[in-house]
A and B are shown apart, each in its own frame.
Chain A
Amino acid sequence: EVQLVESGGGLVKPGGSLRLSCAASGFSLSRLSVNWVRQAPGKGLEWVASISSRSSYIYYTDSVKGRFTVSRDDAKNSVYLQMNSLRAEDSAVYYCATTSPFIYYAMDVWGQGTTVTVSS
C-alpha cells in the first residue's frame, strides 16, 4: 500500500524545537518532491515548505524562513522538517505530501498528519 506516515509532533513551549518525520512505504520518494502543508485548528491549508529530488530546490513560506529546515534521506525513504524557535502560531496539524510530474506537480499522496502544539 502506498502511504506516507508523519511522526514527531507534540506539545512544545514557545521558543522550543521539534523534528517532524515523513516516512514513505510502498513507493520510493527519491525521484519525488515532498511538501509540508499545515492546518491550524479550524483553519484552512497553508503550504509550508518543499524539497525537490536530490534536494536541488528547497523553498519555504516567508513565516518560517530561518526557523524551519526541510531535509531528506532517500536511503531511509524519509523527509524531515526541523522546526526551531517555535511560536504559538505554528500550532497546527502538519501534513507531508508528494508531488509528481505526471500530474503536473499537484499533491497526490498525503500522510495522515501529526499535531504540533506550541504553548506554555
Chain B
Amino acid sequence: EILLTQSPGTLSLSPGERATLSCRVSEGISSSHLAWYQQRPGQAPRLVIYAASSRATGIPDRFSGSGSGTDFTLSISRLEPEDFAVYYCQQYGGSPPWTFGQGTQVEIK
C-alpha cells in the first residue's frame, strides 16, 4: 500500500499570506495520479488539483500544484477567507487501494 504523509499537520496563517503544503509519497508515482482536495467544515471534499499541477474546473489561479516522484506541493499564493479548510492529497494510480494523506488544516492565525 502506498502511504502519503502530509506536512505540516496544521498551518496557521493570515489572509493574504502564502500557504505551502507538502505531500510525501512512500514510493514514486506518476504525476498524473496525484490529486489535492479541499474540505470545509461540514462539507464534502472538493477537487482542487489533479495530475499534480492541473487546476480543476472553477478553482482560482491562486492555487497551484507541483512536484514529481515522491514529493508534491500545493501552494496557495494569497489566502482568501474561504481557503481556510483541510486539504488532502491522494494517489490514484496503479493498483488499489487509492490512498489519501492524513490532511493539513489551514487555519486563520
Contact = CB atoms under 8 A, between A and B. Distances in A.
Interface string B13-35: 00000000000000000001101
Interface residues of B, number: 26
Contacts of B97: 47, 59, 61-62
A107 B35 contact: yes
A111 interface: yes
A1 interface: no
Interface residues of A, number: 24
The dominant DSSP class at the A interface is strand
B44 A112 contact: yes
Interface of B: 32-33, 35, 37, 39, 43-47, 50-51, 54, 56-57, 88, 90, 92, 96-103
Interface of A: 35, 37, 44-47, 50, 59-62, 95, 97, 99, 103-108, 110-113
